[in-house]
Structure 1
Amino acid sequence: MSPRSLSKHQRVIWRLAAQLESQLPDTHGVLTKSEVVIDPGPPPTIRVPDVLAVPSEGIDVNLPRWDAADVLLAVEILSIGSKRTDRVTKFAEYAEAGIAYYWLIDLDEPTSLTAYHLIDGDYELVGEHSGRATLDIAGTPVELDLPALTSSRAS
Structure 2
Amino acid sequence: MDWPHRFLTLDDWAELPETPEFHVEVVEGVLVVSPRPLFVHQRAVNRLTYWLDEKLPAGYSALNEAEMVVADVPLTVRVPDVIVVENAVVQAHTARCHAADVRLAVEVISEGSRRTDRVTKFSEYAEAGIEHYWIVDLAPPVSMVRYRLSEDDYEDFGEQSGRVEAEFAGKSLEFDLNALTPHADEV
- TM-score bucket of the superposed structures, by smaller chain: over 0.9
Task: State the one-letter code of the partner of 2:156.
Answer: L
State the partner residue of 2:63.
Answer: 31
2:135 is the alignment partner of 1:120: no
**CA-to-aligned-CA distance 1:120-147 (integer Å, 9 cap, x gap):** 0100102321000110012111112100
Task: State the one-letter code of the partner of 1:83.
Answer: R
State the partner residue of 2:39.
Answer: 7
- For CA contacts below 8 A with separation 6 or more, give which structure has more relative contact order: 1
Gaps of 5+ in 2: 1-32
State the partner residue of 1:52.
Answer: 83
RMSD: 1.3
Structure 1 position 2, deviation (Å): 2.2
Instruction: Give the number of equivalent residue pairs.
Output: 153
Contact 2:129/2:149, CA 8 A, preserved across alignment? yes
Give TM-score, length-normalised by structure 2.
0.79
State the partner residue of 1:18.
Answer: 50
Task: State the one-letter code of the partner of 2:78.
Answer: R
Distance 1:139 1:57 in 2: 19
Match 1:138 to one of 155, 169, 173: 169
Flag the structure with larger Rg.
2
Task: State the one-letter code of the partner of 2:150.
Answer: I
Structure 1 position 19, deviation (Å): 1.1
Contact 2:89/2:101, CA 8 A, preserved across alignment? no
The runs of 4+ residues in structure 1 deviating greater than 3 Å are none
Distance 2:83 2:160 in 1: 19
Task: State the one-letter code of the partner of 2:107.
Answer: E
State the partner residue of 1:87.
Answer: 118
Gaps of 5+ in 1: none
Task: State the one-letter code of the partner of 1:112.
Answer: S
